[in-house]
C-alpha cells in the first residue's frame, strides 16, 4: 500500500505527496504527458531530443545539474512513446532546491543554440550506440512500422532516422515546449521524508506563478484492425538468426491488459515458464526466448522473440512457438500455474515498495492513467483474472491475421 495526498494548483499542476519517514531522502518526480506518439511524422525522435535539452539551462538558471549536485542530489529522465519522466533524488533537507530547478524549467527554457547543437550530436551517438552499432539493435526500427500503419507508435522513441534529429531547429524546440511543457500537462510527485503541508507551500511558492494553459487535446489516429498476416525477412551481420512475432493487444487502461500480462508471465517469466521450459530446455530449439508486452497507453503489442539454435530452421522454431500459443487458446491454464503467476505479481509489488523512486514514479504513472490509487488496486486486478479470461484473451490476440513476423537472419 502506497499512501498519498493529492492537490491541484490553480494553473492545473497536479501534485501528489507520499510521506515516507523511514528515509532521509526525498524524490521529486515530474511526469509530462508527452511522448514520441505526439511527434510530427517528419520530425520523429523529437520528444526524446527535447528531454536532453531540458538539462541545457532554464530561463533563470544557467545550469540544471550543477546546483543539484552541489546539494547532494542526482537526477535523470527517460522518454517513452507515451510519456517523458524526470526525477530527482536528494537529501530531504535540500528539497527546496529541487522545486527551484524543476519549476524554472517548467516556466521556460534558455533555448540555447549551443545546447541544441551538442545534444543533437549526443542523441545521434545514442542512436548509434543503442540501435545501429549493436547486433539486433535496429530490430524495433523495423518491427514498429510493420505492426503500426497509422498510429504514431510506428516509430521508436529515438526516431525513425538520424536525419530527423540532425535537422531539429531551435524554433521546433520552442514550439514543442510551448505546446507540451506547461503545468496542466504535468504531474508532480514528491516522496520521502517530506510533509504534505511543506510540499503545498513549496509547490505554491515555486510552481504557483507559472501561467496555466489548457491541456492539449490529443487526437491520434487509431490503428485500424489488422486483417492480414505481415511477414518480412532481413539479413544482417549478426552471428545468429532471430525470430520476432508481435501481435496487437489491448491498451494499458483496458481490462484485457491484465490477462494479457499474465499470459506473458505464463509463457516467459522465470525458469518454470512454458517457453523456457518447453522450447529452450526440453525441445532445445532456442538459445534464448522471451515474451513481453510493450505496455503502452494506446493499444500495444504482445511480443515474442527468440534465437533458434544452429540447425533449427526458422519455420520449425516459429511452428513451435505457435504450438504453445495454440495451447493457450484451447486449454484452460491449470489453477496451480495461474496461482503461480499471480503470486509473482504479488511479491514483485511488495518488493517494489522498498524503493522510494519506484513508488514515486508509479504514483505519477497511475495518476496519468486516471487515478494514482490504481497503483494500490493493481494487484487485485491481476488476482481477479480467471482461466477463462486468459483463454479468451489468447484467442483474441494470437491470430495470424493479427501478427507481424520478422525473420532476422545472419548473413
Partner 1 sequence: MLNRALAPEFGQIENIKLIEANPFVLDNGLKTFIINGGEQDLIRIEFVFSNINWDAGSPLQSFATNTLLNDGTSEFSAAQIADRIDFYGAFLQTEYNYDQASVTLYTLNKHLSVTLPIVKAIITDSIFPQVEIDTFILNQKQKLSVNLEKNDFIGRKVFNETLFGNTLYGYDISAKDYDQLNREQLTQYYKSAYQPANCTIILSGKVSDKALNEINSHFGKDWKSADSFKENNFDFTGKPGAEIYIEKPDALQSAIRIGQLAINRNHTDFPGFQVLNTILGGYFGSRLMANIREDKGYTYGIGSAVVSLKNAGYFFIASEVGADVTASAMEEIRKEINILQNNLVSDEELSLVRNYMLGSMLGSLENALSHADKFKNIYFSNLGYDYYDRYIQVVRNITAKDVLELANKYLNWDDFQKVVVGKK
Q: Is residue 74 a contact residue for partner 1 (CB under 8 A)?
A: yes
Min separation Cβ 258 and partner 1, Å: 17
Annotate each residue in 110-149 with x if it binds partner 1 (CB under 8 A) or - if it does not, as one string.
Answer: -------xxxxxxxxxx-xxx-xxxxx-------------
**2 vs 328, beta carbon nearer partner 1:** 2
Only one of the segments 6-14, 256-264, 312-320, 343-351 lies at the binding site for partner 1 (rule: CB under 8 A); that segment is 343-351
Which 17-56 residues touch partner 1, going by CB under 8 A? 22-25
**5 vs 358, beta carbon nearer partner 1:** 358
Which 244-263 residues touch partner 1, going by CB under 8 A? none
Which 147-186 residues touch partner 1, going by CB under 8 A? none
Q: Count Cβ atoms below 10 Å from residue 227 Cβ, excluding itself.
A: 7
- Joined together, the cell numbers standing for residue 269 give 517469466
- Joined together, the cell numbers standing for residue 197 give 503541508
Which 303-342 residues touch partner 1, going by CB under 8 A? 307, 309-310, 336, 339-340
- 3-state secondary structure labels for all residues of 43-93: CCCHHHHHHHHCCCCECCCCCCHHHHHHCCCEEEEEECCCCEEEEEEEEHH
Residue among 305, 264, 271, 306 nearest 285 (CA): 306
Q: Which of 3, 150, 163, 209 binds partner 1 (CB under 8 A)?
A: 209
Tell me the three state secondary structure of residue 129. helix
**221 vs 270, beta carbon nearer partner 1:** 270
Min separation Cβ 2 and partner 1, Å: 11
Residue linked to cell 531530443: 49
Please tell me the distance from the alpha carbon of residue 377 to that of residue 356, in angstroms, as a whole number. Answer: 19
Min separation Cβ 184 and partner 1, Å: 20
Please tell me the distance from the alpha carbon of residue 145 to that of residue 155, in angstroms, as a whole number. Answer: 7
Q: Which of 195, 200, 344, 399 binds partner 1 (CB under 8 A)?
A: 344
Contact at 8 Å (CB) between 328 and 394?
Answer: yes
Annotate each residue in 82-101 with x if it binds partner 1 (CB under 8 A) or - if it does not, as one string.
Answer: -------xxx-xx-xx-xx-
Question: What totals of helices (H) and strands (E) does the chain contain, helices first?
Answer: 15, 11
Q: Which of 87, 153, 181, 206 binds partner 1 (CB under 8 A)?
A: 206
Min separation Cβ 238 and partner 1, Å: 7
**262 vs 297, beta carbon nearer partner 1:** 262
Contact at 8 Å (CB) between 243 and 309?
Answer: no
Please tell me the distance from the alpha carbon of residue 321 to that of residue 316, in angstroms, as a whole number. Answer: 9
Secondary structure element (H or E) that encloses residue 305, with its range: strand 300-308
CA atoms in the 13 A half-sphere facing the CB of 114: 4
**14 vs 48, beta carbon nearer partner 1:** 48
**138 vs 298, beta carbon nearer partner 1:** 138
Please tell me the distance from the alpha carbon of residue 258 to that of residue 316, in angstroms, as a whole number. Answer: 30
Per the document, the length of the chain is 411
**238 vs 325, beta carbon nearer partner 1:** 238
Q: Which of 72, 169, 235, 254 binds partner 1 (CB under 8 A)?
A: 72
Min separation Cβ 198 and partner 1, Å: 13
Which 260-299 residues touch partner 1, going by CB under 8 A? 269-273, 277, 280-281, 284, 287-288
List helix spans (H) across 236-313: 256-268, 274
Q: Which of 71, 146, 374, 383 binds partner 1 (CB under 8 A)?
A: 71
CA atoms in the 13 A half-sphere facing the CB of 242: 21
Min separation Cβ 136 and partner 1, Å: 8
- Count of residues touching partner 1 (by CB under 8 A): 83
Amino acid at each position: 500500500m502506497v499512501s498519498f495526498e493529492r492537490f491541484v494548483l490553480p494553473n492545473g499542476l497536479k501534485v501528489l505527496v507520499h510521506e515516507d519517514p523511514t528515509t532521509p531522502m526525498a524524490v521529486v518526480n515530474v511526469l509530462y504527458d508527452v511522448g514520441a506518439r505526439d511527434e510530427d511524422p517528419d520530425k520523429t525522435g523529437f520528444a526524446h531530443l527535447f528531454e536532453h535539452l531540458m538539462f541545457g539551462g532554464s530561463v533563470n538558471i544557467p545550469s540544471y545539474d550543477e546546483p543539484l549536485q552541489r546539494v547532494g542530489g542526482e537526477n535523470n529522465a527517460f522518454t517513452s512513446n507515451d510519456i517523458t519522466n524526470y526525477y530527482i533524488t536528494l537529501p530531504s533537507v535540500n528539497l527546496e532546491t529541487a522545486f527551484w530547478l524543476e519549476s524554472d524549467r517548467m516556466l521556460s527554457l534558455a533555448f540555447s543554440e549551443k545546447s541544441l547543437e551538442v545534444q543533437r550530436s549526443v542523441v545521434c551517438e545514442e542512436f548509434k550506440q543503442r540501435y545501429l552499432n549493436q547486433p539486433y539493435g535496429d530490430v524495433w526500427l523495423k518491427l514498429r512500422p510493420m505492426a503500426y500503419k497509422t498510429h504514431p507508435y510506428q516509430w521508436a522513441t529515438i526516431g525513425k532516422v538520424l536525419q530527423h534529429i540532425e535537422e531539429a531547429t531551435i524554433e521546433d524546440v520552442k514550439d514543442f515546449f510551448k505546446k507540451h511543457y506547461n503545468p496542466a500537462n504535468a504531474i508532480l510527485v514528491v516522496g520521502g521524508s517530506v510533509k504534505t503541508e511543506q510540499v503545498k507551500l513549496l509547490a505554491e511558492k515555486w510552481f504557483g506563478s507559472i501561467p496555466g494553459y489548457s491541456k492539449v487535446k490529443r487526437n491520434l489516429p487509431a490503428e485500424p484492425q489488422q486483417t492480414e498476416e505481415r511477414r518480412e525477412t532481413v539479413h544482417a551481420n549478426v552471428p545468429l538468426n532471430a525470430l520476432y512475432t508481435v501481435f496487437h493487444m489491448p491498451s494499458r487502461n483496458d481490462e484485457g491488459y491484465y490477462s494479457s500480462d499474465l499470459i506473458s508471465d505464463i509463457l516467459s517469466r522465470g525458469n518454470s515458464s512454458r517457453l523456457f521450459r518447453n522450447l529452450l530446455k526440453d525441445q532445445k530449439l532456442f538459445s534464448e526466448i522471451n515474451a513481453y508486452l510493450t505496455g503502452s497507453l494506446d493499444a500495444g503489442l504482445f511480443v515474442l522473440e527468440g534465437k533458434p539454435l544452429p540447425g533449427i530452421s526458422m519455420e520449425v522454431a516459429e511452428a513451435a512457438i505457435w504450438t504453445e500459443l495454440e495451447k493457450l487458446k484451447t486449454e484452460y491454464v491449470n489453477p496451480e500455474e495461474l496461482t503461480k503467476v499471480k503470486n509473482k505479481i504479488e511479491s514483485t509489488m511488495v518488493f517494489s515498495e522498498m524503493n522510494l523512486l519506484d513508488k514515486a514514479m508509479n504514483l505519477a504513472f497511475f495518476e496519468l492513467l486516471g487515478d494514482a490509487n490504481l497503483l494500490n488496486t493493481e494487484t487485485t486486478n491481476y488476482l481477479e483474472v480467471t482461466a477463462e479470461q486468459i483463454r479468451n484473451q489468447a484467442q483474441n490476440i494470437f491470430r495470424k491475421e493479427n501478427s507481424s513476423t520478422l525473420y532476422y537472419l545472419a548473413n
